[in-house]
Structure 1
Amino acid sequence: MAGGRPHLKRSFSIIPCFVFVESVLLGIVVLLAYRLEFTDTFPVHTQGFFCYDSTYAKPYPGPEAVSRAPPALIYALVTAGPTLTILLGELARAFFPAPPSSIPVTGESTIVSGACCRFSPPLRRLVRFLGVYSFGLFTTTIFANAGQVVTGNPTPHFLSVCRPNYTALGCQPPSPDRLGPDRFVTDQGACAGSPSLVAAARRAFPCKDAALCAYAVTYTAMYVTLVFRVKGSRLVKPSLCLALLCPAFLVGVVRVAEYRNHWSDVLAGFLTGAAIATFLVTCVVHKFQSRPPSGRRLSPWEDLGQAPTMDSPLEKNPRPAGRIRHRHGSPHPSRRTAPAVAT
């Protein structure tokens, strides 16, 4: 906004692009996530196991719904938490704008599409950030499910639900003379347990719940850090970000404590979700910063004009301007030192 009047910009491609490009891509991502999660379009890789392997012999903790961190609670938190944070942040930014001197980049323009549609900067920012967040949430689900389908790593309770017939498989129980497992079972029909439980027990790496929590927390923490401005305190934003990190960490601890995942599965999920969130914030929404109204980036010379400067000591010299004598007596014109740019 310059001179109290908003910048206007006409665009006839914003609505078709949103309807025929952005919505289609988001629909494809949602469909692929659904296929990987709830159908057998992509069968899970059947990975073998050692007889009497204690790594996969933990007791069955029960269905996911009875967990201390059930999927319904996790999905509600990763959906509602960032959405409310971004909504409140953009409303506060719209109704309580920061002073013009504290905004590093010129505000966005109000886009006029056709004769009736006007998209103000707050509305565009809200749709942009929430749309990118939704895209990343389903993308994280795809990455986690794809990793589970491709690797087929068993969970810590895999043998409890598999219930293999060790006698028919020719497995010898461990003895003092032979402590380690003696045979690697690759038979497709080695498990006598429920096929649905066995299939679910083969989807451990990476942990999808940890990936979703890490994605939501990283995206929200970066939004709070880069957008919120708190004067007079340096600990408000770090405290809020650490408070957001605690639930994600607790979800990973619960998954390991209930023998639903290994620590390696949880750490891989954390890295997957955090990497996707960092990429989207850095490269797609450009750290939640507004762009110039002309739609172009500032050139280096234009950017230098807005950088803070330091006065040269020669400009504060009380000696009157004129010709300054050289050491050997030869006159030379006085020179003014250009303002140095603070780095």
Structure 2
Amino acid sequence: MAGTVMLAYYFEYTDTFSVHVQGFFCYDTTYTKPYLGPEDSSAVPPILLYAVVAGLPTLLITITETVLFLIQYTSKEFIRSEKTVATGDCCYLNPLVRRTFRFLGVYTFGLFTVDIFVNAGQVVTGNLAPYFLTVCKPNYTALGCQQALRYISHQEACTGNQDDILRARKTFPSKEAALSIYAALYLAMYVTCTVQAKGTRLAKPVLSLSLMCLAFLTGLNRVAEYRNHWSDVIAGFIIGIAIATFLVVCVVHNFKGKLLLTGESPAEQQANTAMLNMGRADSPLEKYIASQNHIAFTEVT
């Protein structure tokens, strides 16, 4: 996690990785869309997107895990089960805390992973935004653009604001689309796999589709405001879906962790393991010791 956070920091807030300078054709209408202002003026500003992506999963997962734990806590099966989960040989964690931190930790790791993949793609490709020429403000006369097919590849061709130009070179894939679809899919799979209560047969797909719809609208807004191409948004969707699916299926195994342990205590599990290991002894002395241990264990239990 620490390495992922550090790498995301270097991509986002430092110039360690320089953006590839992609050229353009004179008077290319693909990049002459109007510039609607900085990201904060967007219908889905970054502060709103990041707040929803970080806050909604934390709130939903915490509330759901607490409710499920309380339901099982009050059931009869809880009397015959362990109330804590051993972590190592010295610490004990409540199953509610363990599951919540596990699912939220994997989700947070995925957020930074999505950010790294997106930033790496933007730095390597240097794909131009639809409004690039609007903020670039090239001097066509000085560049010799008598012909529309003349290709301009040097960075000094732009005379506009350097921060806006740099931002206009980092559009593929779309970070907003990738983060929104990742959060929506992770939450949708969590709700579908975890909540098994009666009466949720329709509620779960409605909630899941609503989350996916919000993510789709976020990508649609990026195209409508000329901040990204359709290819940028689709690539962001693919990255977010791939990472969310991998983490849910291969890391948290479809959220199949147990809220409570079975009735067998850790001491009994170690004793049973020792019995199985001693059952493989070949020498007569080891077989005799194993049988004595088995008899003693039976008497104690």
Q: Which residue of structure 2 aligns with residue 123 of structure 1?
A: 97
Offset at 1:37? 1.0
Quote the Cα distance in structure 1 between the aligned partners of 2:241 and 2:76. 33
Contact (CA 8 Å) 1:51, 1:182: kept in 2 or not?
Answer: yes
Aligned counterpart in structure 2 of residue 93 of structure 1, from 38, 55, 68:
68
Larger RCO, structure (CA 8 Å, separation 6 or more): 2
The structural deviation recorded for 1:231 is 1.1
Query: How far apart, CA to CA, are the structure 2 residues paired with 1:259 and 1:184?
Result: 23
Judging changes above 3 Å, is the alpha-carbon distance between structure 1 residues 166 and 227 closer, same or farther for their aligned structure 2 residues?
same
2:54 to 66, 79, 83: 79
Alignment match, 1:138: 112
**1:281-339 deviation digits (Å, cap 9, x = unpaired):** 1111111102686999xxxxxxxxxxxxxxxxxxxxxxxxxxxxxxxxxxxxxxxxxxx
Match of 1:163 among 120, 134, 137: 137
Q: Which is worse superposed, 118-127 or 131-140?
A: 118-127
2:277 corresponds to: none
Match of 1:262 in 2: 229
- Partner letter of residue 267 of structure 1? I
Give the equivalent residue in structure 2 for 1:67: 42
- Rounded to whole Å, the distance in 1 between the matches of 2:126 and 2:87 is 51
| Paired position in structure 2 for 1:172 | 146
Aligned match of 1:152: 126
Structure (1/2) with the larger helix percentage: 2
Aligned-residue offset at 1:184: 1.1
Per-residue CA shift, 1:237-287, capped at 9, x if unaligned?
100101111221111111111100011101110110111011001111111
Q: Which runs of 5+ in 1 are unaligned?
A: 1-25, 174-180, 297-343
Inter-partner Cα distance in structure 2 for 1:73 and 1:192:
32
Q: In the alignment, is residue 39 of structure 1 matched against residue 6 of structure 2?
A: no
- Whole-Å Cα distance in 1 between the matches of residues 209 and 110 of structure 2? 22
Task: Output aligned runs, 1:172-321, within 5 Å.
Answer: 172=146, 181-290=148-257
CA drift at 1:49: 0.5
4+ residue segments displaced more than 3 Å: 98-101, 106-109, 112-115, 291-296
Which SS does the other structure have where 2:156 is aligned?
A: coil
Counterpart-to-counterpart distance in 2, 1:133 and 1:237: 20
Q: CA distance change for structure 1 residues 114 and 262 in 2, over 3 Å: closer, same or farther?
A: same
Task: Determine whether 1:27 maps to 2:19.
Answer: no
Contact 2:179 2:240 in 1 (8 A): yes
Residue 111 of structure 1 aligns to a residue whose secondary structure is strand
Q: Provide the alpha-carbon RMSD of the alignment.
A: 2.3
Q: TM-score, normalised by structure 1?
A: 0.71
Equivalent residue, structure 2, for 1:111: 86
Which residue pairs with 1:48 in the alignment?
A: 23
Q: Distance in 2 between matches of 1:93 and 1:233?
A: 14
**CA displacement, residues 114-163 of structure 1 (integer Å, 9 cap, x when unaligned):** 55x32122111111101111111011001001100000000000000111
SS at match of 1:96: helix
Structure 2 unaligned segments of length 5 or more: list them.
270-301
> How many Å separate the matches in 2 of 1:100 and 1:55?
66
Cα distance in structure 2, aligned partners of 1:195 and 1:139 = 28
Q: Supply the distance in 1 between the matched residues of 2:192 and 2:54 (Cα, whole angstroms).
A: 19
State the identity %: 54
Give the number of the structure whose alpha-carbon radius of gyration is greater: 1
Deviation at 1:112, TM superposition (A): 5.3
Q: Secondary structure at the match of 2:209?
A: helix
Alpha-carbon deviation of 1:172? 2.1
